[in-house]
Amino acid sequence: MMKIFLIIFTVLFSLSSCIDEPTQQPDNHKGNFEALWKIMDTRYCYLDYKNINWDSVHTVYETRMDTSMTDFELFDLFGEMLGELKDGHVNLYSNFNRSRYWKWFTDYPSNFNNNLIYNNNYLGFDYLTVGGMRYAKIFNNKVGYIYYGDFSDRFSDTNISYIFSYFKDCEALIVDVRNNGGGYLDLSEQFASYFFTAETVTGYMQHKTGNGHSDFSEPVAIKTPTHKNIKWQRPVAVLSNRMSYSATNSFVSRMKLVPNAVIVGDSTGGGGGLPISSELPNGWMVRFSSSPMFDASMQHIEWGIAPDVKVDLKTSDTENGYDTIIEMAITLIIK
């Protein structure tokens, strides 16, 4: 992770040297407002893509400013302004709160029931767990099932080697990343590498090169390697829903290119921009998407990845202890 971080930091630093530093603003309500607005105006990467008139946003929210506002009221106003970006990667941090935009998943069906995967049809209570992954054999031991709920939980090659060995007699594999809100981007690459037979260009990234909303570098290829020793080459289904976000979004985008893989469930939540942070005069920190990421066809992945097979949970299945999405995945990978 440190090596990847240093590479990304070096690239961003060299490119950001072409971007003018914002004028230092005073530490008052007006100064902090102007600093926040300018940071997003010059460094946020999706203003043009999302057709956001950021100048109009400035006008609307500036008129709502009042010097008598408390810090709590000012923070709420800033958070509301940032909500205009409709980006789960955009947050404002203070000593008393963190702003967040949640409609990227709350406006959609959840398509996940945590209780279902722990009944005896799937993980049950005797599942194995390592590196944040919970796994068991299902469907009369014909299918391996892995639930991985957080790309912040690190796993090793040794962990995966043991898991795949445990499933050596299974005909197919299900990787369930529903409700995985993301984490470390390098883990999405590492996990996907176990399913590729050759290094593959699975996406692209651009970086800001100037203050203009569309000042970007040429696309840089994102390659997913193949692991030298650990490979799963039988059918695999990846289960996703709207809460599959950020690094999980990247993982699903990569897995779209695996020849024997199928994405089942709902569209992911998106989160395709690489986030960085900047500081306001009063010490509040703002995190925002700075570098747009694309799939292998140069299509933005900010709004999510569509599944190969769209499936919603059915109430009738849920009442009987079955997960409709898992059952469809079994049907698709067991011929």
Domains and CATH numbers, the chain: 114-273+290-333 (3.90.226.10)
- Band of residue 20 on the pLDDT scale cut at 50, 70, 90: low
- With residue 160 as reference, give the H or E element that holds it: helix 157-166
Question: Are 37 and 13 within 8 A, CB to CB?
Answer: no
Query: Which residue is listed with tokens 């767990």?
Result: 129
Residue 8 has pLDDT above 50, yes or no: no
> What tens digit of pLDDT does each residue of 194-232 get?
999 999 999 999 999 999 999 999 999 999 999 999 999
- pTM here is 0.92
3-state SS of 287-305 is EEEEEEEEECCCCECCCCC
> What tens digit of pLDDT does each residue of 221-264 get?
999 999 999 999 999 999 999 999 999 999 999 999 999 999 99
- Residue 306, both tokens: 């569509």
d(CA 168, CA 63): 64
User: Residue 248 carries which side chain, given as an amino acid letter?
Assistant: T
- Band of residue 23 on the pLDDT scale cut at 50, 70, 90: confident
CA torsion, points 127, 128, 131, 133, in degrees to nearest 10?
-30
Query: Which residue is listed with tokens 């469907």?
Result: 139
What is the DSSP code string of 119-140?
STTTT-SS-EEETTEEEEEETT
d(CA 52, CA 289): 14
